[in-house]
Chains A and B, each alone.
Chain A
């Protein structure tokens, strides 16, 4: 069994309910292939640093998955077809970092900066 961090970026015009559907859809795929989702993080709508398919923003969803390699094969196969998604990234890690959440902090900072301006 391996540990994976999996991130997907959805288009900017997906509604919150659609994002929930997406997370459920991919969680089911993981469970079907005998994988286990340790944690899901919703990073929210973030600014992309460059345009992807004419999108300026994207909603990020982050999974921490415990499972075998075939889980990832199946996930990426489905995500490559999905038109609601812009990108996906899978990283194999040795240990999950369950405490640090870099993106909750970052949003606060951005808000502070905008107030200053």
Chain B
């Protein structure tokens, strides 16, 4: 899967790069998904201010490898962004 590959690349570039190949992966620097945490706002096509955080200035959807949104939430995000686009809110 392409996602796993990108994750490995990121690990090499970060400050917590692996010293050896056999070192366990758990020390890798990893951010958590901002939308899956407790008390996170629900993804909704009416909540434009939230959706705009995850879009570029040109109105494109930002990839999850930049925003660290989980796969499940990214799917919800893209769907609700498309709904908001249809209503000309974004």
Contacts and interface: CB of A to CB of B under 8 A. Distances in A.
Interface of A: 7, 9, 46, 48-50, 52, 58, 60, 87, 89, 91, 97, 100, 102-103, 106
A75 to B, nearest CB: 16
28 contacts: A9-B87, A9-B88, A46-B89, A48-B88, A49-B59, A49-B88, A49-B89, A50-B88, A58-B88, A87-B86, A87-B87, A87-B88, A89-B83, A89-B86, A89-B87, A91-B45, A91-B83, A97-B42, A97-B44, A100-B44, A100-B46, A100-B47, A102-B44, A102-B46, A102-B47, A102-B48, A103-B46, A106-B48
B interface SS class = loop
Interface in B54-90: 59, 83, 86-90
Interface of B: 42, 44-49, 59, 83, 86-90
A117 to B, nearest CB: 19
A97 B86 CA distance: 21
Contacts of B59: 49
A36 to B, nearest CB: 21
Nearest to A58: B88
A103 B87 CA distance: 13
A60 B83 CA distance: 14
Contacts of B90: 49
A interface SS class = strand
B38 to A, nearest CB: 18
A106 B47 CA distance: 10
A97 B42 CA distance: 10
A45 to B, nearest CB: 13
Nearest to B45: A91
Contacts of A89: 83, 86-87
Contacts of A50: 88
A6 to B, nearest CB: 11
B86 to A, nearest CB: 6
A49 B83 CA distance: 13
